[in-house]
Structure 1
Amino acid sequence: MEQKPKVTIVGSINMDLVTITSQLPKVGETLFGDQFQMNPGGKGANQAVAAARLGAHVQLIGCVGSDNFGKELLAHLQNEGVDVSNVEPVTGSTATASITVSGGDNSIIVVPAANHSVTAAFVESKREVIANSDIVILQLEIPLEAVEKAVEIAKENNITVILNPAPIQELSAELISKIDYVTPNEHEQVLLKQNHNEKELIGKLIVTKGSQGVSIIEAGQEIHVPAYKIDAIDTTGAGDAFNGGLAYALVKGFPLREACKYGNAVAALSTTKLGAQSGMPTAEEVATFMNSRE
């Protein structure tokens, strides 16, 4: 039997509180919404579900609160086939994301809560898990010290690292130098360029552009990988779907451009249902979709 790709994700676990409305409220304005949902979320957990549904063996490293949200999220992730043996409950609340969805777009406010308990020391205690991975995915919804420690452990063991730099913050040149792929959206790319010499990012940068696809930035050129056209219902989690698909494809041996194409297909399919995780497709669904678009 073919061995499953071993994907380790160090990251955030949230409960998403989603309001669907015909228009986004202006400052001071009160509107009636059309629908409310509570959905499992957090960039780390979203990427974990994306990779697990594709068939990877996913280890998620993170924290939840001691509240009901924490219990619900752990049960949900286990049901999705994510290994949560390295997710620890801590005193206090689970992280939440308040998301307003209107016309396929969204705005988000995150309260980190238990995600702040993912410290460098916590990550160090998971050294063996990271060291035995095929690939590691990180985001910036956990403390930067934890990201730096995870990258350090991965590089000591020659493991490929993907950093999804969201929400964007200033990163050290040393950290960037140790990362294999950085996957900002267009807004995050602008801020990255303000803080970094472009040479530091050459060969690492994969910019996600929503319905326009992604761009691979290599020395002297930009390689555009177009998106798949699809009727989007909810774009929440599409970037996370791309990152999960990219990681899975890279471990499976896809060349970078083909891995990005695969990630685009995963992202496209993820937008066809409400909720960041509910639309994540299986490998079979992705294969069928890509074959139908050839």
Structure 2
Amino acid sequence: MDLVAYVETAPRRGETVTGRAFRTVPGGKGANQAVAAARSGGSVSMIGAVGEDDFGVRLRASLADAGVDTTGLRTVEGESGTAHIVVDDDGGNAIVVVPGANGTVDGLADGDEQRIAAADALLLQLEIPLPGVIAAARTAWEHGVSVVLTPAPARPLPSELLAVTGLLVPNEHEAAVLTGKSDPRDAAASLLAHVPEVVVTLGEKGSLYAVRDAEPLWIPAPRVKAEDTTAAGDTFVGALAVARGEGRAMPDALTWASAASALSVQRPGASASMPYRTETDAFAATLNGSRTPS
């Protein structure tokens, strides 16, 4: 559950500021990507866990309302995961995640292998224990299912996970943490030694797509006035997975995902801000495609 405080300027260490609004919004990177994919027209199942608290009830209901199959969503003792978010007037955010029930997802449960095997793609994030991520990714790889990994929160990735990842989607900060390289192009080139495809998201600057033995492509982001960037990256990944599943070429898929992300940042909240397919289609039709970075 996202606990979001809106402020003019985010507080520095030791500083107290007065906020202008507070919202409690269903979130979590996995749930956000599930909702984004569902609203983009995908058929989505969620594997994860919520607690026995009121947040857990609300989180399950919000996924179901978005059309996500929650059969694989476990209910465990204790509290649901929370994210404590400060959003400033420029749309920037800072987030503290408390895993809660997410910390129990350290492996697959009954029925999870069948859910993964039936999918076109498995979207993974790092807000559950790494053994759970690896187990899911390996299962997908064994069944020929594409693994799309968002390495957030950023941490070193074991070779056994990278070996079964088809597409890695870090933001520029995460790419730098993973590689030690601040230039996104250099970071992407370094990551291609471990995975076949990389998309580095660059916020308002767009995204960089890199594949082995080819020049990288820069996909510009639409120019919009951002109100809240909280779920921009998750919206992008969810929409991208649907576009790839439909067989679109990557430049077109990335432009379409960028359109979805640009729509989401103009609205408050996480999953509540995510556009529906008809909205993304209409906005994407007004955009140009990709460029080769200079």
Deviation at 1:111, TM superposition (A): 0.2
Equivalent of residue 279 in structure 1, options 270, 273, 283: 273
Deviation at 1:119, TM superposition (A): 1.3
Give the distance between the partners of 1:71 and 1:17, measured in 2 at CA: 16
Moved more, 245-254 or 218-227: 218-227
Tell me if the contact between 1:173 and 1:200 (Cα under 8 Å) persists in the aligned partners. no
Change (3 A) 1:203 1:223: farther
Residues 159-178 of structure 1 aligned to structure 2 (within 5 Å): 159-178=145-164
Residues 58-69 of structure 1 aligned to structure 2 (within 5 Å): 58-69=44-55
Give the distance between the partners of 1:189 and 1:293, measured in 2 at CA: 26
1:39 aligns with 2:32: no
- What is the aligned partner in structure 2 of residue 105 from structure 1? 92
Moved more, 194-203 or 130-139: 194-203
**Deviation >6 Å, runs of 4+:** none
User: Number of matched residues?
Assistant: 279
- What is the aligned partner in structure 1 of residue 253 from structure 2? 259
Change (3 A) 1:121 1:159: closer
Structure 2 spans left out of the alignment, 5+ residues: 182-186, 289-294
Equivalent of residue 102 in structure 2, options 115, 127, 144: 115
1:92 aligns with 2:86: no
Tell me if the contact between 2:141 and 2:164 (Cα under 8 Å) persists in the aligned partners. yes
Any idea what SS the aligned residue of 1:224 has? strand
Deviation at 1:279, TM superposition (A): 1.4
Tell me if the contact between 2:33 and 2:238 (Cα under 8 Å) persists in the aligned partners. yes
Any idea what SS the aligned residue of 1:178 has? coil
- What is the aligned partner in structure 1 of residue 184 from structure 2? none
1:250 aligns with 2:213: no
The CA RMSD measured in Å over matched residues stands at 1.6
Equivalent of residue 211 in structure 1, options 182, 204, 217: 204
- AA of the residue aligned to 1:278: A
Deviation at 1:289, TM superposition (A): 0.8
State the identity %: 40
Give the distance between the partners of 1:237 and 1:35, measured in 2 at CA: 18
Give the distance between the partners of 2:287 and 2:116, measured in 1 at CA: 36
- What is the aligned partner in structure 2 of residue 237 from structure 1? 231
Tell me if the contact between 1:53 and 1:282 (Cα under 8 Å) persists in the aligned partners. yes
Please list the CA deviations of residues 260-289 of structure 1 after superposition, one character each: whole Å capped at 9, or x if unmatched. Answer: 111111111111110011111111101111
Equivalent of residue 215 in structure 2, options 216, 221, 224: 221
Tell me if the contact between 2:168 and 2:195 (Cα under 8 Å) persists in the aligned partners. no
Please list the CA deviations of residues 221-246 of structure 1 after superposition, one character each: whole Å capped at 9, or x if unmatched. Answer: 32111111111110000000000011
1:157 aligns with 2:143: yes
- AA of the residue aligned to 1:138: L
- What is the aligned partner in structure 2 of residue 182 from structure 1? 168
- What is the aligned partner in structure 2 of residue 4 from structure 1? none
Deviation at 1:112, TM superposition (A): 0.2
Change (3 A) 1:229 1:199: closer
Give the distance between the partners of 1:28 and 1:221, measured in 2 at CA: 46
Please list the CA deviations of residues 245-269 of structure 1 after superposition, one character each: whole Å capped at 9, or x if unmatched. Answer: 1100000110122111111111111
- What is the aligned partner in structure 2 of residue 289 from structure 1? 283
- AA of the residue aligned to 1:20: Y
Give the distance between the partners of 2:80 and 2:94, measured in 1 at CA: 20
Give the distance between the partners of 2:127 and 2:12, measured in 1 at CA: 26
Any idea what SS the aligned residue of 1:273 has? coil
Change (3 A) 1:177 1:200: farther
Deviation at 1:199, TM superposition (A): 4.5
Tell me if the contact between 1:176 and 1:200 (Cα under 8 Å) persists in the aligned partners. no
Deviation at 1:192, TM superposition (A): 1.5
- AA of the residue aligned to 2:28: G
Tell me if the contact between 2:40 and 2:277 (Cα under 8 Å) persists in the aligned partners. yes
Change (3 A) 1:202 1:133: closer
